[in-house]
Structure 1
Amino acid sequence: MKVNPTTLSWQAPTTNVDGSLIDYELEYEVGIAGDSTEGDYAPLATIPGQLRERETYVAPIADLPLDHGEHTIALRSFDKAQPDRMSEWSEPVTFMLATVPERPLELRVT
């Protein structure tokens, strides 16, 4: 399990479920796993579609409202102009946000 990751990254879909090309602007929603059933995610944050670096989308994890501990999240895409046009959730990822001490300073051998 990854501890203290800094970014989320993903590839945007290029087609709709019927195979037609996506010709509208997408945005993304991060969901956090609920306690009740597998695949049950509560909306956590919306990520604008323009956070793109070449063909990969990147978003800082620090922008998500998360406390320390283990988290399982998933991502889904939606039509910015018609937010009810929403995909299924992605495969989930699990990571840990932990308080970690700084490294020791000024190590010397005398």
Structure 2
Amino acid sequence: MDVMTRNVARMRRKLTWRGRKALDSARVLDDVVNSEVRLVPGLSGEARQRAVDHLAELVQLSQAYRHYSYGWISRRELERRGRGALGRLESLSSSGAQQLTERE
């Protein structure tokens, strides 16, 4: 086991139940990103950019959950970042839908 793995394992043992739950949420988001990123090369230019933007937001949200789990940010800050990510995702989704209807 390398040093990084030991440090992560030690930090996880010290986490509160909220911290462990936040890490689990981060892991779920990572799994979504990892499964979806494989599809990106097969998309057209505009769809590819929208997909990359969506995945980037999920990665940032996952990172916020990790920061919260280790006590680096507060619950209020996690909520603020989560609301921001949702707002940006909604904006990306609505702009993509608008572009599709403009072409039709």
TM-score, normalised to structure 2's length? Answer: 0.23
- Decide which structure has greater strand share: 1
- Decide which structure has greater helix share: 2
If you compute each CA radius of gyration, which structure gives the higher value, 1 or 2? 1
